[in-house]
Chain A
Amino acid sequence: MSVTYLEAIREAQFEALRSDPNVFVYGQDIGQFGGAFKATKGLAREFPGRVLDAPISEDAMVGMAVGAAVEGARPIVEMQFADFSSVGFNQIVNQAATLYWRTNTPCPITIRLPSGGTAGSGPFHSQSMESIYAHYPGLVILTPATVEDAYWMLLDSVKLDDPVIFCEHKFLYYHLKAESFGEHSLPIGKARVARPGRHATVVTYSAMVHEALRAADELQMEGYQIEVVDLRSVKPMDTDTILGSVARTGRLLVVGESFPWGGVSAEVISRVSTEAFHMLDAPPMRLNSKDTPIPYHPNLWKAHRPTVGSICDALRRLLRF
């Protein structure tokens, strides 16, 4: 018996709806149809009136969630694709993210973003938005890489009194399996060392954790032990765990699927360069997607995003320095 990452998302929402009557789910095609990816399959039937189809109005969906949160509800908003959250951007960064700071009113909303690339999805169904939301104060940005994290972090998100951007990776939906949802282990805001090593650290998150682990396998055959840190939460960022790892290895590669300019990888490198310059044996490196929209054809797409091969190449360069 095994469970997928997608089932974790679905089950976490089931559990949230079951345990708290203030929780409701709002999004396009999520009711009777069960969502574009089936992340809410059957939930509308089990929780009548609490899993509702929304008009194609990302701005209004988020604004509505904020108003509901003020009134004591704990909404989960499903964006059909992370890419479309740009239409609701204003409500996310200016309404939801500022509410607590401006008015001392908590804003417990969870916005689920089916993120990241899959072959053939093209420029508008493949984006990773964590960096752009992380730029704004007042938001918590979660990027689970495992089935366990998908389940427990989503439950934590709903319980949190702050707006959460929950970046769930579409590639992991069906491909990532585990025996069970496991135990609730790490709290939000803590990173995990996914694999210990001593020659270089790869800091990454979401689907890229798995690419990095495979790259570490490959480099083990060349005599290198690569440490992989799964950030889990890109904001808040667990700087201590990152610095601890860099102190062990002296070398840092940050891998992210999002666009290269600025962003989470730049933030990690900035912190390490400032706080741990004296722990470095080589200039910290990063590997992101290319600085173009995300291409449609699989050949182009695979070259656009970081892969096991390009992570290995980057690591070899880093280790050679």
Chain B
Amino acid sequence: MTPAVPITCTKADLTPDFRDQYLATYRQMQSSRVLEEKLGSLYRAGGRIVGGVYLGRGQEAFSASVAMQLRRGQDVYAPLIRDQAGRMAFGEPITDALRTYMGAATGPMRGRDGNIHRGRPQEGEMAMISHLGAMVSVVAGALFAKRLRGTIADAVGATSIGDGATSTGSFHEAINMAAVEKLPIIISVANNQFAYSTSNDRQFACEDLIYRARGYGVAGWKVDGTDLAACLKVARSAVAAARAGGGPQLIVGTMLRLGGHGEHDDAAYIPDEVKFSKVGQDCLLVAEKFMIAEGWATKAEIDAWLKEARATVDQAVSLVSKEPIPDPYRESWQALSSSELVESWQL
């Protein structure tokens, strides 16, 4: 089999409209990085964040590019672990992240679930469960229901997955089912080389994950995940194809996870030759260089955006830190929405 060639941008792609989206996407990426750095330092400081912190450092370009194409309120999005940038691009407020990490009673998860396990399903943002591959069919179901109820119009759904999760039965069942139903779903596979500590060669044997698209009978797109321009081009094309009735779209992006699985993991298992290879580039630095080279932004402007992002994050942290934590005596302890069916005898 011939190696799959990643799609790249040419000068012709860099329209003013493209430039505007590029800059907007970059700012989401930058904000995401700032927020995640803050989460990392709050975790290391100990105290308000219990449990782990799981960051998307290095995956911002790939994550945000797809989410930038989505319209909150119409489209469906099921982000995964390393999609802070995508979540922000989909319009998730910074406070949702902070409130969930800090277990604030005010957040969407109200202390019942934490960190990356958050969402607002009724607003089209699914809350991931930890079992990998499980969210693909949920997005497919939401699209199925939109079609059944006649509300689908040109809505799409998007979900993310990693190289490791492509090995699950759940992923296989769901992408196959979505293909059978020809649903407008975009599945972006972030191949960040490691699933926790397991490298690609222990994860799958096919030459390139993009070849799976053909096996499932879906469209496939391969892209360099550190190149924001290429990511945007692919995301725009894939989402447009799905909106136009082209069925499921599988995007495979390659990049390196710039850190451990979580902040508890120093990722000593990642060899230096991978860290210092092209796949190990930081997508933010690549984008910064690109913007300056294209004359789309100056270093001073980028620094000003950074300052602004930091101020916004600091403000949000200071707000959420003062918010109440959940009170076990006020918790309803009801797992059913039909409260008449909750057994009171054991309460």
Contact = CB atoms under 8 A, between A and B. Distances in A.
Whether A and B touch directly in their complex, counting CB atoms under 8 A apart, is answered as yes
Interface of A: 21-22, 24, 49-50, 54-55, 57-73, 75, 87, 90-91, 94-95, 97-107, 137-138, 140, 160-162, 188-189, 236-237, 239, 271, 275
A178 B87 CA distance: 55
B335 interface: yes
B51 to A, nearest CB: 15
Contact of A91 (B76, B134, B334, B335): B134
5 contacts: A71-B146, A95-B138, A98-B335, A104-B108, A160-B341
A99 B126 CA distance: 10
A63 B148 contact: no
Contacts, number: 159
B161 to A, nearest CB: 13
Interface of B: 76, 108-109, 112-113, 117, 119-122, 126-127, 129-131, 134-146, 148-149, 169-170, 173-174, 176-177, 180, 334-338, 340-343, 345
Contacts of B120: 103
A71 B149 contact: yes
Given A63-B138, A66-B138, A73 B145 contact: yes
A67 B144 contact: yes
A290 B173 CA distance: 34
Contacts of B131: 90, 94-95
A70 B174 contact: no
A55 B121 contact: no
A70 B121 contact: yes
B122 to A, nearest CB: 5
Contact of B112 (A72, A102, A107): A102
Given A63-B141, A102-B112, A94 B129 contact: yes
B141 A68 contact: yes
Given A68-B141, A160-B338, 7 more contacts: A60-B176, A62-B137, A64-B140, A73-B148, A94-B131, A162-B341, A236-B342
Contacts of A95: 129, 131, 134, 138
A15 to B, nearest CB: 18
A103 B341 contact: no
A69 B109 CA distance: 19
**Shortest 6 CB-CB distances between A and B: which pairs?**
A67-B141, A63-B137, A57-B173, A71-B145, A64-B141, A60-B173
A70 B148 contact: no
B144 A68 contact: yes
Given A50-B148, A100-B335, A71 B142 contact: yes
A94 B117 CA distance: 12
A63 B135 CA distance: 7
B169 A68 contact: no
Given A66-B138, A105-B121, A237-B343, A72 B149 contact: yes
Contacts of A72: 145, 149
Contacts of B340: 189
A270 B9 CA distance: 67
A19 to B, nearest CB: 15
Given A67-B142, A94-B129, A105-B121, A59 B174 contact: yes
A238 B148 CA distance: 37
B144 A97 contact: no
Q: Name the residue in B109, B145, B169, B343 with the highest tally of chain A Cβ atoms < 10 Å from its Cβ.
A: B145
A68 B173 contact: no
A79 to B, nearest CB: 14
A60 B134 CA distance: 8
Given A95-B129, A188-B341, A236-B342, A68 B145 contact: yes
A70 B341 contact: no
A188 to B, nearest CB: 7
A160 B343 CA distance: 16
A271 B343 CA distance: 12
Nearest to A97: B335
Contacts of B139: 67
A103 B345 CA distance: 25
A138 to B, nearest CB: 4
Nearest to A238: B343
Contact of A70 (B134, B137, B142, B336): B142
A236 B173 contact: no
A236 B126 CA distance: 28
A71 B183 CA distance: 15
A97 B121 CA distance: 15
B317 to A, nearest CB: 24
Contact of A22 (B108, B129, B149, B334): B149
Contacts of B342: 236
A275 B174 CA distance: 46
Given A55-B180, A91-B134, A103-B120, A162 B140 contact: no
A67 B137 contact: yes
A66 B141 CA distance: 7
B170 A236 contact: no
Contacts of A189: 340-341
A101 B335 contact: yes
B243 to A, nearest CB: 17
Contacts of A239: 343, 345
B121 A63 contact: no
Contacts of A106: 337
Contact of A71 (B112, B135, B141, B336): B141
B54 to A, nearest CB: 17
Contacts of B108: 103-104
Contacts of A55: 173, 176-177, 180
A106 B338 CA distance: 9
